[in-house]
Structure 1
Amino acid sequence: MTENSVGFIGLGVMGEPICRNMLTKSGAPFQVLDLAEAPMARLAEAGAQRAESVAALAATVDVLFLSLPGGAEVEAVITGPGGIAAHAREGLTVVDLSTAPVALTRQMAERLAALDVDYADAPVARTRQAAIDGTLSIMVGASDAVFARVRPLLDHAASDVTHCGPVGCGQVTKILNNMVLFETVVALSEALALGRSAGMDPGLLFDTLSKGSADSFALRNHGLKSMVPQAFPEGAFSTNYALKDLSYALELARDAGIVAHGAETARHRLERARDAGYGANYFPALSMVHDARPGGDGD
């Protein structure tokens, strides 16, 4: 085993640029693994080695990053046949950059702790461009010692790295971040629809709102850049992914015995967008569907 070696599993929309920044800035030896060949080839050109398998990574590297679509994939990579739990060497540190349920995160950490494997949940926020630029916000749940160990690598991918508390707290913060974002986009979509119906130019409306107390990151990015021009590409953070993340927030609400009315409304709007054919599109596409009062014009 090479000292301070790093493995990275999951080279998708966010994973590839995160890995590239860590690889090129840290100088550490990297092994990468993905179901697709193209991102592995691109990172190999930057100096990474292709890993043979999850098992091989778990048995050889010091720090193993996961950047996967969601909790189901994280659980499969950790506990499935040929997974991390079956092959991890003592002293390995697993860092999950994915967004996953809080309860599952803590279960995975306990499972690996029994094998003398440390765990940190470190979900990321902001856009793909931020991932490319190395200016993500990363929210970390880990012990003080594990946070200190992994922070230097995380710093290469982010402008803000926050220790949110013990394992699971990174996920709590990211899930609630996304919940608030989705609810804000719903509010923006209502303002957009009402403004249009009243004869207001959409771009001028949102630009003016950005100069007042309605200003937000969501307005300036999701609103002005996506909702006003009605640009909802595939390959961005999709409606289906938004529904997955929102389900984690609603799971937290159920566990806490709290009715999250705003989150329920956001789920309804996202489901409407999915059912209208926008499931694979950038999630602000929810602005394309609206509920109508009886006798109204509908969608």
Structure 2
Amino acid sequence: MANAQATLGFIGLGVMGGPMCRNVASKHAGDVIAFDMNADAFSALEGTRARQAASVAEVADQADVVFLSLPGGPQVERVCLGEQGLVRGKHRPDAIVDLSTTTVASARAVAVQLKNLGVAFADAPVARTREAAQRGELSIMVGADTDLYARIEPWLHYMGSDVTHCGDVGCGQVVKLINNALVFENTMALAEMMVLGERAGVQPEVLLDAVSKGSGDSFVLRNHGRRAMLPRTFPEKSFPPEYVLKDLSYVSELAAQMAVTARVTELAQRYYTATAKAGYSGRYFPAVIEIIDQGIEINDSEGSAASAQEKTEPHSQVKDTVASLSEGRRHG
């Protein structure tokens, strides 16, 4: 069982990490210490008892368990295992819980290395919107052994209304990647049908209202369709096509490892690559509807390869961690 007086650390106070850490700091009876490379990100914790750390090392020195909310696998690896990482000082946390989205292979590799150093590891990626993160109503998919899961589950409920033990380390990422792929692919399909329906004489709001009452209803229709594609509003600092492509590259990598031909995922990669190139880089990914509406051609070769940076980027010092550590993620 979780220790109510344990000191919890939190690294990464971005779009998702900030509200998640705020919930932890507001609900946990013990101390909470947080760090982000962008000192301004700590404003997300104003009014809580959370303490601001000056470095990753300071978090490691004081926390019993550390939660991470970082942009991807390379950042997780560096913060955990880099020269100034969580396990390099005199004091190591008992466990690290990664709330980020990474490859399955990365999660399992980090877990093995940490276990050899006496530190337990769980992958616990999150789903739902930033608003859900603010309300503490995320869905959290956990990969961990039974004992570690029992220990961390109460803390995860600070952030999530639905916490699912998916299996051993890596299984949380499997479920999260499948969740995200379904969201991205459903968004693309809904965008295509909204354009088709409007050109055939049905107003988009009427289409969504009617379909929401039938078997075509979905989370994507009620959220991405109504809130973004219907008003054609695609703000910055939301989940952009670049993040979509990173997650889809993780899915493609896993599919290749499992000898599954993921053709729908490959098509989605091409559409979201075109979205990023057509002026919607950095903007909310349902902008894919504009690509379809404008008839922009997609290249059959676009988006089919996983990110070279994700695959080849070497370990380096924590101070070199991507500055977007503070950007966090909006998880599917």
Could you say whether these structures have the same fold, taking a TM-score greater than 0.5 normalized by the shorter chain as the test? yes
Aligned residue number for residue 261 of structure 1: 263
Aligned residue number for residue 206 of structure 2: 204
Q: Residues 293, 224 of structure 1: CA spacing in aligned structure 2 closer, same or farther, 3 A cutoff?
A: closer
Aligned residue number for residue 126 of structure 1: 128
Q: What residue identity is the alignment partner of 1:228?
A: L
Aligned residue number for residue 40 of structure 1: 42
Aligned residue number for residue 219 of structure 2: 217
Alignment of 1:185-204 (within 5 A): 185-204=187-206
TM-score by length of 2: 0.85
Q: Does 1:286 align with 2:288?
A: yes
| Deviation by residue 1:261-287 (Cα, 9 ceiling, x = unmatched) | 110111111001000021201111111
Q: CA deviation at 1:42?
A: 4.1
Contact 1:44 1:50 in 2 (8 A): no
Residue 65 of structure 1, aligned match among 67, 83, 86: 67
Q: CA deviation at 1:87?
A: 2.6
- Which piece of structure 1 moves more, 163-172 or 26-35? 26-35
Q: Does 1:237 align with 2:239?
A: yes
Larger RCO (CA under 8 A, 6+ residues apart): 2
Give 5+ residue unaligned stretches, structure 1: 295-299
Looking at structure 2, the residues matched to 88 and 12 of structure 1 have their Cα atoms a distance apart, in angstroms, of 28
Q: Number of aligned residue pairs: give it.
A: 293
Q: What residue identity is the alignment partner of 1:69?
A: P
Q: What residue identity is the alignment partner of 2:19?
A: P
| Deviation by residue 1:232-288 (Cα, 9 ceiling, x = unmatched) | 111111111111111110111111111101101111110010000212011111111
Looking at structure 1, the residues matched to 93 and 187 of structure 2 have their Cα atoms a distance apart, in angstroms, of 43
TM-score by length of 1: 0.94
Of all paired residues, the percent bearing the same amino acid is 47
Equivalent position SS for 2:87: helix
Give 5+ residue unaligned stretches, structure 2: 298-332
Q: What residue identity is the alignment partner of 1:268?
A: R
Aligned residue number for residue 159 of structure 2: 157
Q: What residue identity is the alignment partner of 1:215?
A: D
Contact 1:102 1:172 in 2 (8 A): yes
Q: What residue identity is the alignment partner of 1:286?
A: V
Q: What residue identity is the alignment partner of 2:267?
A: T
Looking at structure 1, the residues matched to 10 and 112 of structure 2 have their Cα atoms a distance apart, in angstroms, of 21
Residue 30 of structure 1, aligned match among 32, 37, 40: 32
Looking at structure 1, the residues matched to 86 and 172 of structure 2 have their Cα atoms a distance apart, in angstroms, of 21
Equivalent position SS for 2:140: strand
Q: Residues 293, 6 of structure 1: CA spacing in aligned structure 2 closer, same or farther, 3 A cutoff?
A: closer
Q: What residue identity is the alignment partner of 2:138?
A: L
* RMSD of equivalent CA atoms: 1.7
Q: What residue identity is the alignment partner of 2:23?
A: N
Q: What residue identity is the alignment partner of 1:4?
A: A
Aligned residue number for residue 297 of structure 1: none
Q: Does 1:94 align with 2:96?
A: yes
Aligned residue number for residue 319 of structure 2: none
Aligned residue number for residue 317 of structure 2: none
Runs of 4 or more consecutive aligned structure 1 residues displaced over 2 Å after TM superposition = 87-91, 290-294
- Which piece of structure 1 moves more, 78-87 or 60-69? 78-87
Q: What residue identity is the alignment partner of 1:23?
A: A
Looking at structure 2, the residues matched to 41 and 230 of structure 1 have their Cα atoms a distance apart, in angstroms, of 31
Q: CA deviation at 1:38?
A: 2.1
Residue 20 of structure 1, aligned match among 13, 19, 22: 22
